[in-house]
Amino acid sequence: MLYENDKSIDKIGEALTFSKTLTNYANISPLTVMLNQLIQKLDYGVNKDIALKDVIELAPVIYRNNLTAAITIEDTDLFIKEYAGVACEIKLSLPLIFHIIKKTSSWEEAMELNAKLGGASCARGIYISSIVSRIYEIPSKYKKLLYYKI
């Protein structure tokens, strides 16, 4: 039985509540546009540093300072302390996603840095992997795991 020791209806309810919260978030539309533009620029071969910088102007004003800090501050610990944190809230995790993408030079390095930082690494990892895989190839040893069927 699925969720034998758990109440699956509670899990479904939690998932529905989360999806309603996310889609009702006032800034979700401009953030979606920004991320789609970032992916499009990377797909067209725009350098990642230029692409990251270019799309910041599409973000809601409340995000721009932290996103700019994400791509200009080299020290990750300082950046997290002053501008991001490692929690799952969008206003905290999005700048950290930009910072990780800017700072790393391979898919594997990006995923490792994200995991080492902890916090909401799984949620960030989805975005980081989908964006960084446009720049760097996912190593074959991980591709085999990604296509594993349960």
Q: Provide the residue count of the chain.
A: 150
| Tens-digit pLDDT profile for residues 92-120 | 889 999 999 999 999 999 999 999 998 88
| Tens-digit pLDDT profile for residues 53-87 | 999 999 999 999 999 999 999 999 999 999 887 77
d(CA 149, CA 138): 18
90, exposed or middle or buried, with CB in 10 Å at 0-12, 13-18, 19+?
A: middle
Q: Report helix, strand or coil for 92.
A: helix
d(CA 118, CA 136): 23
Do 52 and 101 form a contact (C-beta atoms < 8 A)?
Answer: yes
Please, what is the average pLDDT of the chain?
83
Confidence (pTM): 0.79
Amino acid letter for position 87: A
Q: Tell me, what's the pLDDT at 4? A: 45
In the chain, domain spans: 8-146
